[in-house]
Amino acid sequence: MAQEDDEPKSRPFGIPTPGQRGYGGKPAEEEEEEAGQPDRLPDDATVDVDAEKKETHADEILARLDTELVGLKPVKTRIKEISDLLVVDRLRRRFGIGSTRPTLHMSFTGSPGTGKTTVALRMAELLKGMGYLAKGHLVNVTRDDLVGQYIGHTAPKTREVLKRAMGGVLFIDEAYYLYRQENERDYGQEAIEILLQIMENNREDMVVVLAGYKDRMNVFFQSNPGMGSRIAHHIDFPDYELDELMQIGQLMLDQQQYKFSEEAEAAFRDYLERRMKQPRFANARSVRNALERARLRQASRIVNTTGRQLTKADLLRIEADDIRQSRVFSDEEDGPAPADSNGDETGDENGEG
C-alpha cells in the first residue's frame, strides 16, 4: 500500500513546497528569499484562479473523486472546501500575504468499507498536486505498527513509521486502539505523545489521518484533547444506501468487464438487502467481496458445463444463479466469526460467501 517514490527531483511549481524551506512562521519576505522564489506580486496585480486550479490539477482530482466514487456527497463537499482553501492560500502567498500554513490533519470516521482509505489516497494526491506534500504517498498503519510489546520498543517503532510517512499521509486505522483507558501504563500513550509532537512541529512534512468508527473516535478525542485539537477536518463517511451499493457494484463490474444478466441484477439487489442486515456487513467492501464470489461461481459454472461453445457474452455474463448460490440466501445467518474482517478481500469468512 505504502508506495514511496524517490524524493522529487525538482519542486513541481514555482512556489515553495510547504513543508520545505520557506513556509512557516517567518515573515513573507524572508521566506521568499530563502526559497529563491519569484518576486512577490505588487498589490495591484491580478492572479488567475483558473490557471492556479489547472496548475495544481485540483479540478481534475476532484472530478475523478466524483466519478470513481459513488455517493459520499458530504465527503466530496468537504474535500472541495479543503481544496478551495488551499488554492486561495497559494494565491495569497503570491502577494506575500503571510499566514501560517493551514492545518491539514484529519479524522475520517465511518463504518468499515465506506471508502475512507480510498479517499485518503485521493487526498494525498490532491495535497501533492497543490504542493502541500512533497511525495503524496500513503502509509497505512494500525496500533501494532506503532506500539511495541516491551519497554523501550514503542518510540523507535513509532519513529520508524513516521520516517516512512515523511512527505505523505500517515493513515492510522482504528486510531482509538492507541489509547487504553483501563491501562495507564499502556505503551500506546508513548506513541500518542510522539505523534502529537510531530503533528504540531512537522505539520509541513506530513498529514495525519485518523480513521475509525465515529463514536469510538469521539471518546478517543475526549480522552486525548491534544489529539482532537490538532485535527482540523473531521469528515464523516455515511453508510451506503441500497441503491448506492448497487451502483458501486455496477461500477466494479464495469471495471472488471463483467455484466449482470437482468435476473442477476435483481438477485444481487436481493442479496444486498439480506446481507445489509447480517453481521459484519462492510458496505462497499462487502459488495466487492460478493462480486469476487460471484466471479468464482461463474467460472466453475462455465468450466464444468461440458460440450458447449462459448461466446464472448457468455464469458462476460454473471447469471442469477452465480449470486443465488450464496450462503446469504440460506437462512444460516452466522458464519464462523473471523477475528477481524478488515483487509480480507476474499469475503469467504466475512459473511459474503
The residue ranges that bind Mg ion (CB under 5 A) are 117
CB of 259 to ligand ATP, least distance (A): 18
List Cβ neighbours of 93 (8 Å cut-off, separation of 6 or more).
15, 28
Q: H or E element: which one contains 246?
A: helix 242-256
CB of 255 to Mg ion, least distance (A): 19
CB of 258 to Mg ion, least distance (A): 24
The site for ligand ATP, by CB under 6 A, has a size of 18
CB of 283 to ligand ATP, least distance (A): 7
- Overall residue count recorded for the chain in this entry: 353
- Of the residues 19, 22, 71, 351, which one makes contact with ligand ATP according to CB under 6 A: 71
C-beta of 199 vs 211, nearer to ligand ATP: 211
Q: What string of DSSP letters covers 64-92?
A: HHHHHS-S-HHHHHHHHHHHHHHHHHHHH
- 3-state SS assignment for residue 211: strand
C-beta of 15 vs 70, nearer to ligand ATP: 70
Which partner, ligand ATP, Mg ion, none, binds residue 135 by CB below 5 to 8 Å per kind? Answer: none
- Give the neighbor-by-neighbor strand order of the sheet with 169-173: 138-141, 169-173, 207-212, 106-110, 233-237
Q: What string of DSSP letters covers 320-352?
A: HHHHHTSGGGSS-------S--TT--S-TTTT-
CA dihedral angle for residue 254, residue 258, residue 263, residue 269, rounded to 10 degrees: -50
List Cβ neighbours of 234 (8 Å cut-off, separation of 6 or more).
106, 107, 109
Angle subtended at Cα 120 by Cα 117 and Cα 121, rounded to the nearest 5 degrees: 90
Q: Which residue has the cell 482553501?
A: 85
Residue nearest to Mg ion (CB): 117
- Of the residues 69, 155, 194, 316, which one makes contact with ligand ATP according to CB under 6 A: 69
Residues 222-251 that bind ligand ATP (CB under 6 A): 248, 251
CB of 209 to ligand ATP, least distance (A): 10
C-beta of 29 vs 68, nearer to ligand ATP: 68
Question: Distance between CA atoms of 248 and 269, rounded to whole angstroms?
Answer: 12
Residues 270-309 that bind ligand ATP (CB under 6 A): 282, 284-285, 288
- Of the residues 58, 65, 70, 191, which one makes contact with ligand ATP according to CB under 6 A: 70
Which partner, ligand ATP, Mg ion, none, binds residue 288 by CB below 5 to 8 Å per kind? Answer: ligand ATP
Residues 313-352 that bind ligand ATP (CB under 6 A): 342
CB of 201 to ligand ATP, least distance (A): 28
C-beta of 69 vs 88, nearer to ligand ATP: 69
C-beta of 16 vs 113, nearer to ligand ATP: 113
C-beta of 237 vs 258, nearer to Mg ion: 237
- 3-state SS assignment for residue 110: strand
Indicate the DSSP class of residue 4.
-
Q: Which residue has the cell 438487502?
A: 273
C-beta of 70 vs 320, nearer to ligand ATP: 70
Residues 108-167 that bind ligand ATP (CB under 6 A): 112-118
Q: Which residue has the cell 475526549?
A: 222
Q: H or E element: which one contains 307?
A: none
CB of 72 to Mg ion, least distance (A): 14
Interacting residue ranges for ligand ATP, rule: CB under 6 A? 69-72, 112-118, 248, 251, 282, 284-285, 288, 342
